[in-house]
Chain A
């Protein structure tokens, strides 16, 4: 596995089932829109994949403002999956993404099993879509959202229903707001999920001590950023030992070393979320840094990091 010398060419490719990425670094849903806004800072064709903002069947208005609050080493958000609906997304965003040589993973949201199925069925017809990521873990919508990700029965039901309408690779995005994430991971694996991504945001709250009001209009929201990284790494490690499908790991990745931690814990790919807001070039820094990390240690293939944590 290790080769002496530091001028080796590192093989940065990773596989998630039938999906092949040129490197392990992808975007976290909801933090990168469909990529257009980042085009001045990021060469999209240097990403492992683009994971888009969640889409639902019809347009969703999202939650009232304020929708974000900064907290120590992190932030809370309650955007509430504001999106124009799958039809508008297919018309406006997919053709734009199609001009780049990068796999496109579309994040799917729903209020009901039927809605997840309808969105997946619509996306199935579009060749630009390389895979679906089903979000059963959004803490910011009242019906649906996280409810589907917190019981094995519901998680299995959504996965089974979407599996029935898609032949594209199916990734299920898991919620950390559960007692045992490995049970949910096993349940979706059993229903045919090709990969899991984790973690979505942790349910949190912040209160303004001047006004005594919650900092988010909705009261509660999802915590992201470096503050959640140790929880995320732990969950990736637990899930990696519980299932045999690949994992996309995320939660607080700001640097290449953060990405390495996730890969050592068992992730085959990693996603950058909140890090994009802090520095819009974070994904590129992580790609370059991962390669330099491997080269510096004589690791010839980045995939050798996957699950290599030592005890």
Chain B
């Protein structure tokens, strides 16, 4: 089945902040009342959020939809620069406009019985809706989650409540195995032979997991971050090099088939 939504209408909606709270050091969860987008969005899609109007920074910021509850969108965000700092300061009742749902979202190959989801740090964000959707369809899900510290294992509770199995690694060993999530993934692929691997995290990690999956002959989808100006396919700032030529992460992705990505010709976004 495809979760492809590229033919769907893109909406411009005024969203209202329902809550905004810190969930870990430098990480927040904001809940937005945005009924039209909430009812249309599919796992892996994102919104392009206008955090400030007429401020010194102009461009919208792209954020994955972590979960949808009724008319509400949940976004997990990491505070990095001016935009996400301003986002962290938004209080209940504040209004922001957003464009969405954007991107194609994750694709579930025909006959999938077992999926492995790999989340590195904030890469957990776009996997929230996916784990719920897969579980609902009776697909067995294993999650391999890695983060620097226990506190930064964002969405761990959701994964533990929804997936059949969750394996953890932390850089400091404060939860699960000490080390990188890629070591877990190597073992999980060999032992469980999932039908498909979904990956989101820092691009260096994503690339290693993609290589592990493809080497084992397992289908793999990766969610890639690129700097985005328009977010709707017009400006060509977000290109990813693939076997089918240059694709736009905002409309042809952000989820790509790992086998199609030409990694060396694609760039890793700065700072991550």
Contacts and interface: CB of A to CB of B under 8 A. Distances in A.
Interface of A: 30-33, 37-38, 40-41, 61-62, 64-70, 72-75, 77, 79, 82, 208, 210-211, 213, 215, 217, 225-226, 274, 276-281
Interface string B238-271: 1100000010000100000000000000110111
24 contacts: A31-B230, A31-B235, A33-B235, A37-B232, A38-B232, A38-B234, A41-B12, A62-B246, A65-B239, A69-B227, A70-B58, A73-B56, A73-B58, A75-B59, A82-B236, A208-B271, A213-B270, A225-B58, A276-B234, A277-B59, A277-B229, A277-B230, A277-B235, A280-B232
Contacts of A213: 270
B229 A77 contact: yes
Contacts of B269: 66
Q: Which 4 A-B pairs have the closest CB atoms?
A: A65-B267, A33-B234, A37-B234, A68-B237
Given A66-B267, A215-B270, A277-B59, A79 B235 contact: yes
Nearest to B248: A37
B72 interface: no
Interface string B214-234: 000000000000110111111
Contacts of A67: 227, 236-237, 239
A277 B236 contact: no
B50 to A, nearest CB: 7
A62 B237 CA distance: 10
Contacts, number: 97
Nearest to A38: B234
B9 A40 contact: yes
B13 to A, nearest CB: 12
B16 interface: no
Nearest to A61: B246
Given A67-B227, A226-B58, A79 B50 contact: no
A144 to B, nearest CB: 19
Contacts of A40: 9-11
A276 B230 contact: yes
B59 to A, nearest CB: 5
Q: Max chain A CB contacts within 10 Å: which of B11, B58, B97, B231? A: B58
Given A65-B266, A66-B270, A70-B57, A75 B232 contact: no
Q: Max chain A CB contacts within 10 Å: which of B229, B233, B266? A: B229
A170 to B, nearest CB: 25
A95 to B, nearest CB: 18
A228 B269 CA distance: 26
Nearest to B229: A277
Contacts of A61: 246
A32 B238 CA distance: 15
Contacts of A211: 270-271
Given A68-B227, A77-B237, A82 B232 contact: no
Contacts of A31: 230, 234-235
Contact of A208 (B235, B237, B266, B270): B270
Contacts of B97: 279
B41 to A, nearest CB: 15
Given A37-B233, A79-B235, A281-B12, A74 B226 contact: no
Interface string B49-69: 010000011111000000000
Contacts of B233: 33, 37
A278 B58 contact: yes
B12 to A, nearest CB: 6
Nearest to A226: B58
Given A61-B246, A277-B59, A280-B230, 6 more contacts: A62-B236, A64-B267, A73-B56, A277-B229, A277-B235, A280-B12
A84 B27 CA distance: 41
A77 B269 CA distance: 15
A37 B248 CA distance: 12
Nearest to B265: A64
Contacts of A225: 58
B32 interface: no
Q: Max chain B CB contacts within 10 Å: which of A215, A225, A277? A: A277
A47 B266 CA distance: 36
B272 to A, nearest CB: 12
Q: Max chain A CB contacts within 10 Å: which of B10, B11, B97? A: B10
Contacts of A38: 232, 234
Contacts of A279: 50, 97
A31 B233 CA distance: 10
